[in-house]
Amino acid sequence: MDDFERGLGRAEDALGRNEPRIRSTLQRLDLDTSGLSSLREVQSWIGTSRPDLRRRSETIRTERTEWGSASGLPGELTAFDEALYGKAAHDPDVYAAIVKVAEAAEKGEVDAKALAELEKRTGDATFAAALMNAMGATGFRKLMGKTVGHKDDKKVERLQIALGKTLGTASPKLSNAWRDELTSDFAIGWQEGHGISLALKYATSKYAGPEYGASSGVVSTAFLLAAAKKVDAWDREASKFPVGIDPGVTVALLEALSSDPAAAQDFFAGDPTALKHYLTERGMRDGGEALGKALVAAMLTFRDHKGSPQAPSRGYLSAKLASEFVHLEAKRIEAGNPPAFVKPTTTGRILAGYVSDINYVAQKVGDIVAPGVRGADNPSASGQDPWGAQFNLEELRQVMKEAFADSKAFAPVLAAQTAFAGWILDHGAAEMTAGRGDGALLSNAKRAGAGFGMITDAAGLAKIEEGKELDEKQQQNMRVLMAVVNTGLVIPQAKAWQLTADLVGAWTGVAEGSIKGDAEAKARVNANTVVDQTQALMRDLTAQAMLKRGAFGAAEPAAKTHPWASLEGLEKGDDPRENPNNFLKEDGRTLMTMDEMIDKTVTNGADKDQRLEAYRRWLYEGPSGRPWRDVEDRLDQGFSNGFSQYGS
C-alpha cells in the first residue's frame, strides 16, 4: 500500500510537470490538444485518491502495530474489510478496535496491546460514539454475548469492563433506535442477555474511575433504565423455559441499577409488578446481594417532602417503595413461602432508614392503611418530616422478627433508633430549656420507649422469662443491645432519614469490639435486664441532651448543678478535666460513653468504675438538682408506658 501510494505520487508529479509541456508543443504545431484533458483527469483522480490511500495505510498500520503485534513477512498482504472501513468513517482507531475486540471475543485470546489501547480511550466521547455506531447495536450485543463464554479469564473481564465503560461514555450520544436494537432479538440462551447486563454494570459510576483503566463517562439514567426494562422483560420470558443455567443475568442488571439510584427507583416504582417479582418470584444465584443494593439505593437515597401524591417526588416514591417492601415481605411470611430473596441485612438497613415510622406505628395509633405513604409531621419534633412509609403493625413485627434472627440486621435498626431517640429527646430538652415546658420531652420519651420496645421485642429480647436460658440468636442480639448501651452516645443525633450507611457503619466499627468483647455474656439474664438497660440508655440520651442545651448551667465556672461542680476530690483551681472522677469530655457539655467511663487498664473494681460511679452519683443522688428531678419520674413514666406495650 505504501509503495503503491508513493508510485502514484511520482505519477502525479510527472503528469503535473509534463502535461503543460506536451500541450505547449502540440499548440505550437497547431495540433489538437483536447485529448490531453484525460491526463488532467488522471492527475486530479490521483490527487484526491492519495489521502484516502494514506488513511487506509495508516489504518492497516494502526491495526498491525499500535493495536497489536505485526505478524508475517514484510510486504505480506493484510486483509482489509472495506465495509467496516466505511462504517468506521475511515477512523483508523475505530477500525482497529472493532477488528481486535471481535477477534478477542471469538477466540477468548485478548491481545494485551489492543486491550491497553481500548482502555486508554474509554473516556473519549467521540471515539466511544464512533465505535458503538460503527459496530452497531446488534454487533455489540453479539460481541458481548461471545465474551461471557470465557469464564475466569482476567483479560476477558478487562475487555468486558472496557467495552462497558465505552458504552457508558457513548450512551448520551446514541439514538433511541440504537438503544432499542441493543435489547431486541436476543439469541436463544443466556449469553447475550448476560453480556448486555454486564456491559450496563460496567458502564456505571462504580467502574468510571481510573482504577478500571482511564476515567470514563457514566451511562445516562435514561439509557440504563430503558435497557434494564427490556432485559428484565426478556429475562421473565426466558426464565419460563430456560435453556441452560442462568449465569447471573439479573444479578449483573441489578448491580448496574444499584449504582444509579434514580434508575433503580424508576425501575421498581414504574412497574407495579417489579418489586413483587424480585421479592417473591425471581430468586438469584448471589442470594439477593445485588437485589438488596438496588432496593437500598431506590428507597434510601432520596428523602424529601416535596411534590404530592398526585405529582410524587422521589422522596414520596422512596417511602412508597419501603411500605410496599414490608407489605410484600409480610405476605410472603404469612403464606409460609421460602426464605426471603433478600438478605436480612438489607431488610435491616431499609428499616433503619424508616425508624421514625417504626416509632409512629409502635405507639399503636390506630389502624393504618398499608402499603401507603404518610405525610403528617411529628408535632414534638423540629422541622418538616420527609414522606414516611405507612406500616401495618403486625406486618412490620413479622418482617422485623424474621430479619432480626440475624444480629447484623438488628444492629443498624437499634443504632438508628438510638440516633432518632437522641434527636427527638434533644428537641424536647431544647423546648424545656427555652421555657416552653416539658411536654415535647415527655411525649418524645413515650414515642422512643414504644420504638425501643417494639424493636427489642422483635429481636426476642423484650419478653424474657426469669432465669430462662437465651438461645444463640438472642445472645447475639443481647450483645448488640449491650454494645448500644455502652457506646450509643457515640452515634450522632439525627433524623432517621438522615442516617447514612457511613454513619451506621462508623458506629458499628466502634461497637464491634464491645460486641466481641462480651462473648462471655451470661446465657441467663434477669427478666428486667432489657427494659432496665434500655431505660438507662434513654436517661443517658436525655441527660446528654440537657447538658448540651445548658439545662444544668454553665461549665466554666461550673454552675451548682453542673457535673464539674460536684466532682469528688476537685480542689479550687484544679482543672476538672484532669480529675479521675470526671465523666465529661473536653467541652464540658458532652458525656463520655459508658465504655469510656470504664477504665479497662485496671483490675480493681472501684478504680475501674470510678468515672461511671461518679456519673451515677451526680445524676441520681442529688447533685444534678432540680433540672433532673423535674423530669426524671415523668420521663421514666413516658418510657415505661411506651415500652410496656411490648415488654409486659
Query: Tell me: the pLDDT tens digits for 532-561?
Result: 888 888 899 999 999 999 999 999 999 999
CB atoms within 10 A of CB 233: 12
With 0-12 / 13-18 / 19 or more C-beta atoms within 10 angstroms meaning exposed / middle / buried, residue 28 is: exposed
Say whether pLDDT at 490 is over 80.
Answer: no
pLDDT score, position 494: 56
Of residues 477 and 467, more confidence is placed in: 477
Say whether pLDDT at 365 is over 70.
Answer: no
Q: Is the dihedral of CA 209, 212, 215, 221 positive or negative?
A: negative
Are 493 and 547 spatial neighbours (Cβ–Cβ below 8 Å)? no
**pLDDT band at residue 468 using 50, 70 and 90 as cut-offs:** low
pLDDT tens figures, 43-86: 889 888 888 888 888 878 888 777 876 555 455 666 788 888 88
CB atoms within 10 A of CB 78: 13
The whole-number average pLDDT for the span 122-140 is 95
Are 305 and 299 spatial neighbours (Cβ–Cβ below 8 Å)? no
The whole-number average pLDDT for the span 440-451 is 89
pLDDT tens figures, 573-609: 899 999 999 999 999 999 998 888 988 887 776 678 8
pLDDT tens figures, 518-527: 433 444 455 4
The whole-number average pLDDT for the span 271-293 is 94
pLDDT score, position 585: 94
pLDDT score, position 246: 82
* Identity of the highest mean pLDDT range in 273-277, 601-605, 643-647: 273-277
Q: Pull the grid cell for residue 451.
A: 420504638
Say whether pLDDT at 244 is over 80.
Answer: no
The whole-number average pLDDT for the span 217-229 is 96
The two beta strands, 388-390 and 372-374, are antiparallel
pLDDT score, position 77: 64
Are 323 and 298 spatial neighbours (Cβ–Cβ below 8 Å)? no
Say whether pLDDT at 418 is over 70.
Answer: yes
Say whether pLDDT at 648 is over 60.
Answer: no
pLDDT score, position 78: 67
